[in-house]
Amino acid sequence: MFNLINLEVNKEVRAKNVKLCREKGIILPTFAQMVDPSTTPKKVKDALSTMGLWDIHSENLFRINWKNEAVEKGGVFGEVNYLEVPRAITGTKARILALVGKWFPTGVHKVGATYACLAPALVSGNFDAVNQQAVWPSTGNYCRGGAYNSVLLGCQSIAILPEEMSQERFNWLKSVAGEIIATPGCESNVKEIFDKCHELDAERGNTIVIFNQFDKFENYLWHYTVTGAAMIEVLEKLNIKPENVRGYASSTGSGGTLAAGDKLKDMYHHIKIAAGEALQCPTLLRNGFGGHRIEGIGDKHVPWIHNAKNTDLITAIDDQDCMDIYRLFNEPAGLDYLRGVGLDETEISNLSLYGISGVGNLLMAIKLAKFYELEEDDVVFTILTDASEMYTSRLGELNEQCGPFTPIDAAKVHAASLLHQGIDNVKELGYYERLSVHNLKYYTWVEQQGKTYEEINAQWYDREYWKQLPGMADKIDVMINEFNKEVGLI
Ligand SMILES: Cc1ncc(COP(=O)(O)O)c(C=O)c1O
């Protein structure tokens, strides 16, 4: 059996972390509390009731969940943040539901994946929060979440991201990260990020711990447990019959968000999971490569934590569609046009909840719904990982490049990129096509990143390999509870 998450205890380092948390007044939330934040200690809830969503206070760790009240300040917890995408936008018969990531601290769900990496390392003593720096290699938001959680926990961080990521990301990072490293290239230059990690490892050795989202099963586990539970809660609240829960669509990214689909599949065995990527970098669809503009979804490799056995469909999305729809959803002419096709004011204001990759995920969900000819009662779930506010500088750039967005542009984009989104660049996977996706991992992970031949084979051939993960959340929770008890603040 492979040790997918290191929970071996280093007593000496753990004791230092306990002391640090006691001095700084830090209580750590458990996975169970992230699923059900109503169980948050009262004194934390009281503190949150006057605190901003992004404030640098450790109580905000308890806002790492899908149920924050949708306000910038003082919110506590309500129902899962989700929306139903109007059919006037999707053009599908099936219903498309989406979790909304905007209401996480930092404005993105990635803060959850980073916390899931950091918390077990802290409570086991595998990361020394006093003397080591936490390194967050990322295509953007993961390092924002990692730097944010690091500062809440009173430890030093290094954020690594490609130099072409949006200015908003760099600006905000300057206020929280100890150190920022910009790597060459854009979104899909993940290899350059890995190279930088190796370089840091060689230079700085034991003074750093690298939390690599692309191979950390904690990332998988957070989405499986917390994102998966949030979707199931919505489906149950809406009384969706199990047979009508038909699909889940997400970009492959680090393989984290995609893992929420595994939870749905464990519950609704028949659902189809679509893994999406940019058409400009069609790694899964065509073993392809290239740069693209869907910020956050990476590519040119298959993440180690992507469970290819559960992937049913590959959908490649044209980044031009994403950029055009992002403009449609944010430019005044676009909003006026969409009012004209019947969106009410709530639906219009919800359009600010889609970041560029959220638009991409929506298009993947549309393709899935059309590919399987889903009907009115059927439901596909997807995720709006972050919101439009993360990319406002892109609007200015697009206006400069293409001229102002006009009512005619709005009509074209609505008709072509949304309503006429087709089932082109979609591939349904049989057993051996899934194996092809899995096999692509070899070149990145075994040849370059030190994974073993035995383990890559276990991922495919050992039926217990993926099954051991869900139970690990409870084990980590036991350790977090013991740690909190020793810290002595609850
Ligand atoms: C905006 C955005 N969308 C999508 C993703 C992909 O999420 P995941 O890494 O969980 O696959 C990321 C990851 O950083 C992101 O920042």
pLDDT in tens, 448-481: 999 999 999 999 999 999 999 999 999 999 999 9
Element (H, E) at 246: strand 245-251
CA of 296 to the centre of ligand 1 (A): 5
Q: What is the pLDDT of residue 241?
A: 98
Residue ID of nearest Cα to ligand 1 atom 7: 253
Residue ID of nearest Cα to ligand 1 atom 16: 296
Residue ID of nearest Cα to ligand 1 atom 1: 296
Q: Indicate whether 166 pLDDT > 90.
A: no
CA of 463 to the centre of ligand 1 (A): 28
Mean pLDDT of 149-161: 93
CA of 458 to the centre of ligand 1 (A): 26
Query: Which of 100, 187, 357 most suits a substitution to test ligand 1, by most atoms within 8 Å of the C-beta?
Result: 357
Question: How remote is the C-alpha of 291 from its chain's centroid?
Answer: 20
Residues 6 or more apart in contact with residue 462 via CB below 8 angstroms: none
Residue ID of nearest Cα to ligand 1 atom 12: 296
CA of 237 to the centre of ligand 1 (A): 27
CA of 24 to the centre of ligand 1 (A): 30
Q: Does the reported pTM lie above 0.85?
A: yes
Atom in ligand 1 nearest the alpha carbon of residue 256: 10
CA of 44 to the centre of ligand 1 (A): 28
Q: What is the pLDDT of residue 299?
A: 79
Residues of the chain above pLDDT 70, percent: 100
> Which tens digits make up the pLDDT trace of 224-258?
999 999 999 999 999 999 999 999 999 999 999 99
Mean pLDDT of 111-116: 97
Q: Indicate whether 81 pLDDT > 90.
A: yes
Q: What is the pLDDT of residue 170?
A: 87
Q: Indicate whether 298 pLDDT > 80.
A: no
Q: What is the pLDDT of residue 137?
A: 94
Residue ID of nearest Cα to ligand 1 atom 9: 254
Please give the Cα distance from 52 to 70 (Å, whole number).
12
Mean pLDDT of 128-143: 93
Q: What is the pLDDT of residue 25?
A: 96
Name the more confident of 441 and 177.
441
Query: Which residues have C-beta atoms less than 6 Å from ligand 1?
Result: 108, 110, 139-142, 251, 253-258, 295-297, 355, 357, 385-386
Average pLDDT over the chain reads 96
In DSSP notation, 288-329 reads: -------TT---SS--TT--GGG--EEEEE-HHHHHHHHHHH
Length, in residues, of the chain: 490
CA of 238 to the centre of ligand 1 (A): 27
Domain residues of the chain, as ranges?
84-104+226-428
CA of 297 to the centre of ligand 1 (A): 5
Output phi, psi for 424, to 5 deg: -75, 155
Please give the Cα distance from 197 to 200 (Å, whole number).
5
Mean pLDDT of 295-314: 94
pLDDT band at 191 (very low <50, low <70, confident <90, very high): confident
Please give the Cα distance from 445 to 192 (Å, whole number).
14
Per the structure block, which two tokens stand in for 324? Answer: 């055009």
Measured over the CA atoms of residue 272, residue 262, residue 270 and residue 83, the dihedral's sign is negative
CA of 255 to the centre of ligand 1 (A): 9
Q: What is the pLDDT of residue 168?
A: 78
- Mutual angle of helices 141-152 and 167-176, in 10-degree steps: 20
Residue ID of nearest Cα to ligand 1 atom 11: 253
Nearest to 226 by CA among 139, 378, 111: 111
Residue ID of nearest Cα to ligand 1 atom 5: 296
Element (H, E) at 283: helix 283-286
Q: What is the pLDDT of residue 185?
A: 87
Q: What is the pLDDT of residue 249?
A: 98
Residues 6 or more apart in contact with residue 371 via CB below 8 angstroms: 313, 423, 426, 428
Atom in ligand 1 nearest the alpha carbon of residue 139: 14
C-alpha distances out from residue 405 to 332, 394, 402, 414, Å: 8, 13, 8, 13
C-alpha torsion angle, residues 128, 181, 108, 480 (rounded to 10): -10
Residues of the chain above pLDDT 90, percent: 92
The 10 Å CB-count burial string (b at 16+, else e) for 374-412 is beeebbbbbbbbbbbebbeebbeebeeeeeebeeebbbe
**Residue whose token pair is 């690091």:** 150
Residues 6 or more apart in contact with residue 205 via CB below 8 angstroms: none
> Which tens digits make up the pLDDT trace of 340-350?
999 999 999 99
Output phi, psi for 154, to 5 deg: 75, 25
Q: Indicate whether 187 pLDDT > 80.
A: no
CA of 390 to the centre of ligand 1 (A): 13
CATH fold, domain 84-104+226-428, is Rossmann fold (3.40.50)
Please give the Cα distance from 260 to 231 (Å, whole number).
9
Nearest to 97 by CA among 217, 208, 260: 260
pLDDT band at 411 (very low <50, low <70, confident <90, very high): very high
Query: Which of 114, 142, 219 most suits a substitution to test ligand 1, by most atoms within 8 Å of the C-beta?
Result: 142
Nearest to 221 by CA among 480, 488, 467, 484: 467
